[in-house]
Amino acid sequence: MISEKEQTHISKFLSLVLRHKPETIGIKLDQNGWIEINELINKSSKYGVNFDRDTLNHIVATNSKKRFAFNDKQDKIRASQGHSIAIQLGYKNQKPPEILFHGTAEKSLQSILEKGLKKQDRQHVHLSSNIETATKVGQRHGKPYVFLVLAEQMYKDNFEFFLSENGVWLTNNVPKKYLKQK
């Protein structure tokens, strides 16, 4: 089995090519973000990132954030969310819990309080169903801060919510009136 360091390297590489820059290795994702596994492995190898199907299976199964998913036939893979490229993930609008959470860094507080949550260079704003996950997300960017999002009220006000395969709630934006400081 590969080392944890190699696994992290491959996982970050997969995030790059499946979420942001598939052209890096000369692949083209279909409209729903899928790529055939054999093509991904072959093109990655030509780029100098070597892994086999067993390694890929291990990364998908053990990734703590469940960033990647296989299709039903297990012959294609895609990122579950977080794309900065146009992808139709095929998720259906569904009612979220009453409260969701958004983790950020304290340095972003003022901008969020003024403008609400924007998707920036991604396709959606990412929300968590628990405060622990939101705190971990916020820690990636500095001292963490967690907002409470009045998701059920947003839904009642005709905002769409989608639940990704890895349990991340997605929406297009969160106006400031739906944000509460904890």
At 70, the amino acid letter reads F
Residue 2 confidence (pLDDT): 83
Instruction: Match domain 100-181 to its CATH number in 3.40.50.720, 3.40.50.2000, 3.40.50.11270, 3.20.170.30.
Output: 3.20.170.30
Asked whether 44 and 34 are in contact (CB, 8 A), the reply is no
Quick: pLDDT tens for 21-80. 999 999 999 998 999 999 999 999 999 999 999 999 999 998 877 889 999 999 999 998
Tell whether the model's pLDDT for residue 122 goes beyond 90.
no
* CA nearest neighbour of 93 among 170, 149, 40: 170
Domain boundaries, the chain: 4-78, 100-181
Write out pLDDT tens, residues 140-182. 889 999 999 999 999 999 999 999 887 899 999 999 999 998 7
At residue 181, the pLDDT reads: 87
How far apart CA 6 and CA 49 sit, in angstroms, is 10
Q: How confident is the prediction for the chain on average, in pLDDT?
A: 92
Q: Which residue has the higher pLDDT, 104 or 122?
A: 104
CATH number of this structure's domain 4-78: 1.10.10.970
Cα separation of 138 and 94, whole Å?
25
DSSP line for 80-120: SS--SS-----PPP-PPPS-EEEEEEGGGHHHHHHH-EE-T
Give 2-34 pLDDT, tens digit per residue: 888 999 999 999 999 999 999 999 999 999 899
Q: What pLDDT score does 74 carry? A: 94
- At 167 the pLDDT is 87
List helix spans (H) across the chain.
4-15, 37-47, 53-62, 109-115, 131-139, 151-156
31 burial (CB, 10 Å; 0-12 / 13-18 / 19+) is exposed
Domain 100-181 in the same topology as domain 4-78: no
Contact by Cβ (8 Å): 105, 145: yes
Is the model's pLDDT at 104 over the cut of 80? yes
Classify strands 173-174 and 179-181 as parallel, antiparallel or unpaired. Answer: unpaired
Report whether pLDDT(121) > 80: no
Q: Which amino acid is at 56?
A: L
